Amino acid sequence: MTRNDRIQIHYKLTFAAPFHFGTGISAGLIDRTVIRDSGGYLYVPASTFKGVLREHCEQLCRFYLPNRQVAIASPHNAYVALADFSGALTPVSRIFGSHVYPGRLRFDDAEQSDHLSYESSDAENERVEKGKYKAIQTSISTQVRIDRLTGTAASEALYTSEFGIRDLVFAGTINGWLECTPVEALAVTGKDETTYTGTPTYSLLLLFAGLQLIERLGGNKSTGKGQCTCSIMTVTINKRICTEEQWQFWLEHLDVLTAYPLA
């Protein structure tokens, strides 16, 4: 029996290395520019974050559900697209959606924030604080493309890229509805008006685990760029606070994913 939960997760991304989220547009002497918001600040596109998170969730499903490889294969696979009509939903499909099942979680762009206080509404003061970093939030690197056959620099292939600097911090949100089967093995007793003491669903447990696996985002990852950490800041389930101690306890029992009822 499935349960429909209202989920809200606030997280932060801290970059330990330069990173590149490209626009595909050149500007002046810069061939590869990075994406900015209307105020000129760098941000992490929701589509990029969501795609990397989905990849990690799929990897976890392949590990814990080894006998169900077809059901968790690439969503672009034509055979899988037809299999979706069987009505069987994987935890990945419940989180991110599929050809026949619209996902109901919303992933927002992760934006820069100095204080990372999710209860603060003083957006104007936040912009003033961030302003002092606006002029130094990027660095420039000139590179040359290497010919794979000869191992030498390719002719007329010198280009300049723009990167976000290390140590920038971004705050993002995941919110919406997540419908899935509760993990009865992690059932607890007791009720609290403000703190969530219920059981997680299989999909929510997978989502937490996928967030913990994020360690690189953006382009040029093969050269060490995009290294980051993803930290879960606050979690609310059905408008009740889920403490870090609670969801960390759930992650210690990640092997319960093997019992996911994929009919």
Considering only residues 35 and 156, tell me which one the structure prediction assigns the higher pLDDT.
35
Q: Where are the beta strands (DSSP E) in the chain?
A: 3-15, 43-44, 105-107, 110-112, 138-146, 153-164, 169-180, 228-237, 240-241
The owner of tokens 């990690």 is 56
Could you give the CA distance from residue 192 to residue 173 in angstroms, rounded to a whole number?
A: 25
User: How much is the pLDDT for 255?
Assistant: 92
Q: Which H helix or E strand runs over 78?
A: helix 78-83
* Averaged pLDDT of the chain: 82
Calpha distance 8→161 (Å, rounded): 35
DSSP state of 34: B
- Segment 235-258 mean pLDDT: 92
Both tokens of 131, joined, read: 């302003």
Residue corresponding to tokens 């960390």: 248
- pLDDT, tens only, 59-87: 999 888 866 554 555 555 666 555 555 55
DSSP state of 238: T
pLDDT value for 74: 57
Q: What is the per-residue pLDDT for 8? A: 97
pLDDT tens track for 186-227: 876 555 556 676 889 999 999 999 999 999 999 888 888 999
What amino acid occupies position 29? Answer: L
pLDDT at 241: 93
* Number of domains, the chain: 1
Say what the pLDDT of residue 95 is: 94
Structure letter (DSSP) for residue 218 = S
Confidence at residue 235, expressed as pLDDT on a 0 to 100 scale:
96
Handedness of CA 76, 99, 7, 254 (dihedral sign): negative
pLDDT at 2: 86
Other CB atoms within 10 Å distance of the CB of residue 249 = 13
Query: Taking residues 134-161, what's their average pLDDT?
Result: 79
- Flag whether pLDDT at 172 surpasses 90: yes
Give residue-wise pLDDT tens across range 31-41: 789 999 988 89
Confidence of residue 117 (pLDDT cuts 50, 70, 90): very low
Q: Please check the confidence at residue 144 and state whether its pLDDT lies above 90.
A: no
Q: Is the pLDDT of residue 178 over 90?
A: yes
Amino acid at 67: N
Range of the domain at 162: 3-259
Of 53-67, 69-83, 127-141, 150-164, the poorest mean pLDDT is in 69-83
